[in-house]
Structure formats: C-alpha cells, structure tokens
C-alpha cells in the first residue's frame, strides 16, 4: 500500500513537471518579414511572474536598425486557452494583444489602440516567437 502511495505521488510530481514546460514564463524571440518589405523585423519578449501577476517586457524593430525600435511592457492574464495582455511602448503607443502557446513556443499578436507613432504598427503584427534556451 505504501508503495502505491509513493508511486502515485511520484506520478503526480512528474505530471506537474511536464506541464511546467508548457508555461509562457521565459524569454522568447523571433524574426519574420513584413507584408510588403523583405527586410526582417524582430521581436523579443520576456514573461515573468511576480506575486502571482504575469508581466511582459519586450523590444521590437528591424534587423537593419531603420525606423522605430520600441521597448514595451505590460500585464498579462490567462483567459481560456490564451493569454491576454495590455501594453504601452516607449513611443507612447498603447494597446492589447494575445499570446497563444504553440508547443514550447508562443504566437504573439498585438493591436495598437492609442497610436502615437505609426512606424511601430508593422512591428506588432502576429509573429511566432521561439523559446530561448539557457
């Protein structure tokens, strides 16, 4: 009987550890081209948890260094199978977005609702971000 209890506890711990890799906590980055421009745009994102609250911080820009390169931050919360967030960037733009888990990576998508600098708009289009290892 004791062996069965020990096995059950070990099984639950292993199961929970497996789910922890499905977390959106961590650092992510990705590059892609915009619709009309072959130049690469990039986005890096860090999601942390402090006192039970999810926070995100990131940076977006173009690989060549041209145009705007905003830093942004915001708060994030889980709703159904997606994470929703609000953000404000270093150019004064504000908005909301979603983060969807895709295996160990995430799909990031944001919409600007208060536009202060239109150069930032293409940088927030949907992009797949790969989890940074190490």
- Whole-structure pTM value: 0.79
Query: Which residue in the block uniquely carries the two structure tokens 């289009």?
Result: 125
Contact 41, 64 (CB under 8 A): no
- Per-residue confidence (pLDDT) for residue 37, from 0 to 100: 67
In the chain the domains, ranked by start, together with CATH numbers, are: 24-131 (2.40.128)
Largest CA distance in the chain: 67
Beta strand ranges found along 6-126 (DSSP E): 26-33, 40-50, 53-62, 71-79, 82-89, 94-102, 105-114
Look up residue 96 and give its two tokens.
């909301």
- Span 9-58, pLDDT tens digits: 434 333 333 344 458 999 999 999 866 667 889 999 999 999 889 999 99
């Amino acid at each position: 009987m004791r062996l069965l209890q020990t096995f059950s506890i070990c099984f639950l711990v292993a199961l929970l550890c497996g789910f922890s890799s499905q977390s959106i906590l961590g650092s992510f980055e990705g590059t892609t081209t915009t619709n009309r421009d072959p130049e690469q745009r990039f986005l890096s994102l860090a999601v942390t948890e402090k006192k039970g609250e999810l926070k995100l911080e990131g940076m977006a820009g173009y690989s060549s260094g041209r145009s705007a390169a905003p830093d942004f931050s915001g708060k994030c919360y889980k709703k159904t199978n997606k994470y929703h967030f609000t953000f404000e960037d270093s150019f004064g733009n504000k908005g909301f977005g979603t983060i969807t888990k895709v295996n160990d990576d995430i799909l990031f998508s944001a919409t600007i609702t208060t536009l202060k600098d239109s150069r930032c708009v293409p940088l927030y289009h949907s992009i797949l971000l790969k989890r940074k290892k190490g």
